[in-house]
């Protein structure tokens, strides 16, 4: 065989081996979201998808598979082919989901690979605008003086981070609160404005409109630090040390995905979250774009899961489907 013929055969074989890879790379990356279009998580997923598409030079589409607190989407991604075409846009509610849906067929630690932290969404503690309470300290004092089982708080639903935020508040202050669940942030905030409940633990994004119109009063954010978009609003932790409720957003891929894909995706995510346009879009939604690498995100996942398990145990919470 001549050198020229050998070279042609090698090049032909190489072309055949590269062709499937080129086809794979051309396929869209699906960012699967466990909530309906138009909601807070979906909006942030679309901001992230657009930025990732630019960094990866690849089409990134958002695919909504809503229901059961995001567990339908998680189950779908866990069972997807680990081909680098499907990623879960996950949030902290999935850490609590096993206590609410004990029949889950996946495990976050076992069936997924972390690709990095996207950011955090801020929650807020609020009271009706006609309440005399102006600070977290005054609220705690008021609760302690009230008759047992009379101080109510609204949340977006049983088992939500908003609900657990109220339970953690009661544990940290050694007070009694009665949980009143609503179907979503808007109904919960409207109930607070109408005086149906004494306080609410709700997303900052769903509360800020009513606060600006003077119908409710924001007392504090629930995260450890003040929300950058509202630096004059204190954090609960400034009054109650150790208190922190920070719904986080992170990317997960099926467990057997190529490590090179995770490395590429994580690098693109880091650059995406550093874009000013992305940071501004997150702030507009009451959130903060804050990247963490896969290893740090996986450590956080374990620590945060254990922390909320402790809150559920200490508050003696049970969830009925």
- Among residues 250, 248, 258, 271, the alpha carbon closest in space to that of 85 is found at 258
Q: Note whether 162 and 194 are within 8 A (CB).
A: no
Q: Note whether 267 and 259 are within 8 A (CB).
A: no
> Mean pLDDT in the chain?
92
Euclidean distance between CA atoms 76 and 56, whole angstroms: 24
Element counts in the chain: helices (H) and strands (E): 12, 11
pLDDT of the residue at 15: 42
Element containing residue 95 per DSSP (H, E): helix 93-100
pLDDT at 7 over 60: no
Q: Where in the chain is the domain with CATH 3.40.190.10?
A: 123-238
The CATH architecture annotation of domain 25-121+247-314 reads: 3-Layer(aba) Sandwich (3.40)
Q: What is the DSSP string of 106-144?
A: --HHHHEEEEEEEEEE-EEEEEETT-S--SHHHHHHHHH
The CATH architecture annotation of domain 123-238 reads: 3-Layer(aba) Sandwich (3.40)
- Among residues 31, 158, 40, the alpha carbon closest in space to that of 100 is found at 158
pLDDT of the residue at 174: 96
pLDDT digits (tens, 9 = 90+) for 280-316: 999 999 999 999 999 999 999 999 999 999 999 999 9
pLDDT digits (tens, 9 = 90+) for 237-255: 999 999 999 999 999 999 9
pLDDT digits (tens, 9 = 90+) for 48-70: 999 999 999 999 999 999 999 99
Euclidean distance between CA atoms 49 and 174, whole angstroms: 43
Q: Where in the chain is the domain with CATH 3.40.190.150?
A: 25-121+247-314
Euclidean distance between CA atoms 148 and 174, whole angstroms: 12
């Amino acid at each position: 065989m001549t050198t020229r013929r050998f070279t042609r055969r090698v090049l032909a074989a190489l072309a055949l081996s590269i062709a499937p890879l080129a086809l794979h790379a051309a396929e869209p990356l699906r960012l699967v979201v466990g909530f309906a279009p138009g909601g807070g998580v979906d909006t942030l997923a679309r901001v992230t998808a657009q930025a990732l598409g630019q960094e990866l030079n690849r089409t990134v589409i958002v695919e909504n598979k809503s229901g059961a607190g995001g567990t339908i989407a998680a189950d779908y991604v866990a069972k997807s082919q680990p081909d680098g075409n499907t990623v879960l846009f996950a949030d902290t509610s999935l850490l609590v989901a096993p206590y609410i849906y004990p029949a889950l067929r996946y495990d976050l630690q076992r069936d997924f690979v972390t690709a990095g932290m996207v950011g955090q969404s801020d929650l807020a503690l609020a009271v009706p605008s006609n309440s005399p309470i102006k600070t977290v300290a005054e609220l705690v004092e008021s609760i302690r003086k009230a008759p047992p089982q009379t101080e109510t708080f609204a949340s977006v639903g049983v088992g939500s981070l908003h609900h657990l935020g109220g339970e953690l508040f009661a544990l940290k202050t050694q007070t009694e609160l009665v949980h009143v669940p609503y179907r979503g942030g808007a109904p919960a905030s409207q109930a607070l404005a109408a005086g149906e409940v004494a306080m609410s633990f709700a997303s900052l994004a769903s509360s800020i409109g009513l606060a600006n119109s003077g119908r409710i009063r924001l007392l504090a954010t629930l995260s450890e630090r003040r929300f950058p978009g509202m630096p004059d609003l204190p954090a609960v932790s400034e009054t109650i040390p150790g208190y922190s409720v920070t719904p986080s957003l992170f990317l997960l891929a099926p467990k057997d995905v190529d490590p090179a894909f995770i490395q590429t995706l994580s690098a693109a995510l880091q650059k995406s979250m550093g874009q000013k346009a992305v940071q501004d879009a997150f702030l507009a939604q009451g959130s903060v774009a804050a990247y963490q690498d896969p290893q740090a995100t996986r450590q956080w996942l374990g620590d945060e899961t254990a922390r909320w398990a402790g809150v559920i145990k200490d508050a003696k919470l049970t969830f009925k489907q």
